[in-house]
Amino acid sequence: MKIQFFHVVIVAIIALAVWYGGSAEQSQHISAAKRGMQWLLSYTGTYENPGVYWALREINASTCKSDALSNDIEGRFTKHNPDAVFHAYASVFSGEHSIDTLDVSQLETYDRWLISALQCRGGRLDASVLGEILTTEKKGYDLTHQFVAIRYSRHSQCDLGMSEQDIGLFERTIAEEIALEDESTGHSFSDLSAERAALLLWAGYNDLVDEEWIRIISANQSRDGGWSNGRSEASNTHTTALATWALVLWTEQCPYPVVL
């Protein structure tokens, strides 16, 4: 009887230690996300990449639902970025859809894929774009942008020449390739690794992102609260937005307002 009692006690202590460890890590991830958001909102320069705008909007939409944060994001991007492609992304994310005025054939590869997917809204993608985003064996940023293009094509109900079941299976295959590619690096931190984790979590492939991946993202935060693409580099908006977004999706906690 005593042996059984001590066995129960030991099991309970181990379970409590595991719970406490997990809770402490969760708190660390939440704190890191808040510091990342603070760094982004304190940044006085121009957000050069529309992906930063998208990540911040998705953070707000998924967890914060704050009008104040939405207004802050809108103001930063519309005020500081005169580029037509940038504003096209901003308009479609806000629901205005002025993106239709762009000639996608003149755009860079990733913009051509993504803007075509965003603007098709039930139509058929251009044959050249369709061929590019349905081609297999992509790597790195090509693979992550292909994933987003497929995801947005489905959201826009584009005609991809495949059944919904087949395109779903194709998307899953790409998601698994993204996870395997990062696993092959030991989840070594980089801008690309943060992008992979954020996109998989955004699309609901939580089963492909493990705690160790998130722990590495959190551990690589710079002292100033941002993230850089390498330890010798300064924090930048793109990597910081992606890392913050990944942590927010993992913890399901709003990082705003940034009171630490």
In a domain, 95, yes or no: yes
In a domain, 169, yes or no: no
Q: Which of 85, 78, 92 is nearest to 110 (CA)?
A: 85
State pTM to two decimals.
0.86
Q: What is the pLDDT of residues 171-200, one digit of tens each?
A: 999 999 999 999 999 999 999 999 999 999
**pLDDT attached to residue 224:** 95
Express as a percent the part of the chain with pLDDT over 70. Answer: 82
Residue 58 CB partners (closer than 8 Å, separation 6+): 202, 245
Per-residue pLDDT band at 14 (split at 50, 70, 90):
very low
**pLDDT attached to residue 15:** 39
In a domain, 194, yes or no: no
In a domain, 254, yes or no: yes
Looking at the 3D structure of the chain, how many domains does it have?
1
Per-residue pLDDT band at 216 (split at 50, 70, 90):
very high
**pLDDT attached to residue 13:** 44
In a domain, 32, yes or no: yes
Q: Residue 47 pLDDT more than 80?
A: yes
Q: Which long-range contacts (CB under 8 A, 24 or more apart) does 57-66 make?
A: 57/93, 58/202, 58/245, 59/244, 59/245, 59/248, 59/254, 59/255, 59/256, 60/256, 62/248, 62/249, 63/248, 63/252, 63/253, 63/254, 63/255, 64/254, 64/255, 64/256, 66/254, 66/256
Per the structure, the complete domain to which residue 43 belongs is given by 1-102+222-260
Mean pLDDT over 110-114 rounds to 91
Residue 47 CB partners (closer than 8 Å, separation 6+): 53, 76, 77, 80, 81, 237
In a domain, 153, yes or no: no
**Rounded-to-integer distance, Cα 77 and Cα 74, Å:** 6
In a domain, 82, yes or no: yes
Per-residue pLDDT band at 16 (split at 50, 70, 90):
very low
Q: How many other C-beta atoms can be found within 10 angstroms of the C-beta atom of residue 127?
A: 9
Mean pLDDT score of the chain: 85
In a domain, 135, yes or no: no
Mean pLDDT over 41-64 rounds to 90
Q: What is the pLDDT of residues 130-159, one digit of tens each?
A: 999 999 899 999 999 999 999 999 988 999
**Rounded-to-integer distance, Cα 194 and Cα 196, Å:** 5
